[in-house]
Structure 1
């Protein structure tokens, strides 16, 4: 490392630099939980922070996250240029606002929105988008109930136990009863008949996931729609809308499974969210929410502000946030086009199918999914495999830098521990084969050196931490 020359003390006698030479580290303590008394040179601060960050895992080897970990240098440059622009200041940054408007319409077209002018906005991620979609369902349900002279005290939302935690947050924050459909062996996501059976006059909607985080499988949007149609046709049957949580599948299904009807082609779908920072191929954080039309976005949720240089509507939960991710999303749309997105997602799926097929051949494992929906698959140890667990495999892979999560399934299947691999753009076939080689090696080590069996209570704590 290059030595930094010492700088003179300022007029108050305070040295402006902490000399970064490691041999002097003892006398140059960096406080962690309070502001230092004086500052340091930019390069010194950079080195200190970089030194600590090398303890993080390598994002490219993180097979747990759905979030984008690689972008082209040109996209990174564009994001750096736009990071100081505040997305909410549409009067000051009108062209950034125009790029957001274009992205909303591109996504609306991709999801077969019924009108050429799509209704939606960008968000900080799918969690915020889910909140907005849930709020619109709740407000519209209240309006219908009040118009019919009925009470609005007990709203509920139907979903599988495999939903992302943001839906649990929505129900708690807005005092909505969550009605969970449990998973069962052989069905690891929401079932249509089971969802319909949970609905009643107080149901504001059903959440259907295009790409469960548990195993990467798509939930049957069209089947849920048909079941809700049948329910509505019964005497006094409720008319229940659908929100599609397309956090990951919203940018996969249109390119890899274009014939699958899950979007606004399905009549009961009122709104759809997706993460631009997942298979939308943008660094975190950006999400998108699109409604079927203006009628599905209640006017009460739209606010108008006029203190940023001009009056403008806003219906996001967050306010100030950088415009960099929106610019990068538009860059991807322009750079890749429909064919480019299809090729990128197809490559990820080809790698996922290759890996799941090889893992199935290893012997100890059985697949829960193979990557034929999302480029994501989950697998577990066969019941007759003893001496080690998926948590042991996960820990040993981490010794080589691979982050492959091990976790237990939700309520009703908590005794089933699995591993999951997420394939994203930037994870090559070469890396996939290196991971397979390491997995084979670690299995040999564990088979010859079985791990001590943990007490059940410790296994649960470990599973909870891993999840």
Structure 2
């Protein structure tokens, strides 16, 4: 007895084990749910293990109860406040909790976003609109807005400037100076400056700009030059770290010129992607021209996000974390990460091979490190060895101008990285270097570019 190929595949296995997956044409016919699930699963099996991805700031694990909330609410369209008013209320609970965490002085405005990139776009647009309001009221031209920030920002700030016709005034970095302060900012300020951006927890080294010093500069400029220039804090990574690890460190609405803050819930907020938050100091800091009103979903709603329809599940997951952990729980989790990061830094320093960057400063739970002296290989070779032979994803990259001749490695230490894994990673780094000592590196071109200060 014989059966056809399709019948045999349906009975015994997945026909795409021996056929290419659909990739260029819309399929003429479908397949069974099991086949579709296996097809997707077989593709994803070729990706890296998220638990060994030390490059990403994004959350890769949540509790089963949180995952259940997410799964049970994927169908819920957050923007439909008429049908899902509790989801909208929970969003505003989160905004109020963040405003409290960031020491807002009173009633605030804010919203959830798809991530910090959307929050940054909205916050920067509000800076531009509020600047335009002030200039128009004074009878001054509004055709040359500029925004001041350091080379340590995320690329989305440059995107904003390009997309929305704002001059970027980017402050370069330098070797051993990977953040910015008031002395760097002052020369770039004028009547067309819509705002200054300070970073809390840079992507490159995990440190913070001198937010206090920049705030003091802006207060002095307001008094001496009658220029009221607001300060936006990009706390995408640090907004869920500093309040718990460094609660006495002032960077938020305790500082007078800080008018808006963005933070990623899907980073150290401990929620899966994508969820971000934008919080204003007061309601008046949100430019009213950004708010739109619509009633075609059943009730009149105000909206000022760039995205419209989106799932409610990550908002609910964020609220779950807030009520599940509270200040005490977040502090505990952050301290465990920090302790393991310090343990990894100590291992690397003791090896004698590496210089750990800024571990004595306030920093995200990560380790930024570089080779302490010239070798026959570089940081990219180490990253390649760790990935290809040991399964760790540890990025190697050059810093922004004028520090582009500096190449570093960065290992994020998250709640899923145990002390045993930290020690194994340290051993694997040492083994990778031993292998490279014997055979040399594979990235000669990159090494020469970094040596010559040209980057890549």
Distance 1:429 1:150, change over 3 A: same
The match for 2:207 is 217
8 Å CA contact 1:90–1:97 kept in 2: the answer is yes
- Residues 222-371 of structure 1 aligned to structure 2 (within 5 Å): 222-234=212-224, 236-370=225-359
Distance 1:62 1:456 in 2: 23
Unaligned runs of 5+ in 2: none
Q: Kindly provide the CA deviation profile for residues 112-166 of structure 1, in whole angstroms up to 9, marking residues without a partner as x.
A: 1111x43101000000000111011000000111111110011000000111011
2:355 and 2:35 map into 1 onto residues whose CA distance is 51
Alignment partner of 1:436 is 2:411: no
CA distance in 1, matches of 2:144, 2:381: 45
Mark the CA change 1:144 to 1:24 in structure 2 (over 3 Å): closer, same or farther.
closer
- SS for the counterpart of 1:455 is helix
Residue 416 in structure 1 maps to residue 431 in structure 2: no
Scaled by the length of structure 1, what TM-score is found?
0.92
Contact 1:123-1:129 at 8 Å conserved across structures: yes
The equivalent of 1:159 in structure 2 is: 149
Aligned partner of 1:99 in structure 2 is: 90
- 2:185 maps to which residue? 195
Corresponding residue number in structure 2 for 1:34: 25
Question: Per-residue CA shift, 1:83-115, capped at 9, x if unaligned?
Answer: 111110111111111111111111111001111
Mapped contact 2:355–2:369 kept (Cα < 8 A): yes
1:267 and 1:207 mapped to 2: Cα distance? Answer: 14
1:67 is matched with which residue? 58
CA–CA distance in structure 1, aligned partners of residues 209 and 148 of structure 2: 13
- Following superposition, the deviation at residue 51 of structure 1 comes to 0.5
SS at match of 2:444: coil
Q: CA deviation at 1:233?
A: 3.0
Offset of residue 369 of structure 1:
2.4
What SS does the corresponding residue of 1:233 show, helix, strand or coil? helix
Q: After TM superposition, give the deviation of residue 455 of structure 1 in Å.
A: 2.9
Residue 128 to residue 452, structure 1, CA distance change in 2 (3 Å): closer
Partner of 1:53: 44
Seen in structure 2, the aligned counterparts of structure 1 residues 437 and 231 have a Cα distance that, compared at 3 Å, is same
Mark the CA change 1:357 to 1:237 in structure 2 (over 3 Å): closer, same or farther.
farther
Q: Which moved more, 1:355-364 or 1:81-90?
A: 355-364
SS at match of 1:420: strand
Query: What is the CA–CA distance in structure 1 between the aligned matches of 2:176 and 2:162, rounded to whole Å?
Result: 30
> RMSD across aligned C-alpha pairs, in angstroms?
2.3
Quick check: 1:16–1:41 contact (8 Å CA) kept in 2? no
Gaps of 5+ in 1: 1-5, 10-14
Distance between the aligned counterparts of 1:380 and 1:182, measured in 2?
20
Equivalences for residues 387-426 of structure 1 within 5 A: 387-399=376-388, 400-426=390-416
Indicate the residue corresponding to 2:437 in structure 1: 447
Q: CA deviation at 1:198?
A: 1.1
| Structure-2 residue corresponding to 1:3 | none
Task: Check whether the contact 1:304–1:314 (CA below 8 A) recurs between aligned residues.
Answer: yes
Q: Which moved more, 1:296-305 or 1:445-454?
A: 445-454
Deviation at 1:18, TM superposition (A): 6.0
Q: Kindly provide the CA deviation profile for residues 314-349 of structure 1, in whole angstroms up to 9, marking residues without a partner as x.
A: 010000110010000000011111100000011111
Indicate whether 1:125 and 2:109 are aligned.
no
Give me the whole-angstrom Cα distance separating, in 2, the residues matched to 1:16 and 1:144.
73
1:181·1:195 contact (CA, 8 Å) conserved in 2? yes
Matched-pair contact (CA < 8 Å) for 1:68–1:277: yes
Q: Are the aligned partners of 2:153 and 2:199 in contact in 1 as well (CA < 8 Å)? A: yes
The answer on whether the counterparts of 1:394 and 1:404 sit within 8 Å (CA) in structure 2 is yes
Change (3 A) 1:181 1:20: farther
Shift of 1:362: 1.2
| Gap change, CA 1:443 and 1:20, over 3 Å in 2 | farther
Q: TM-score, normalised by structure 2?
A: 0.94
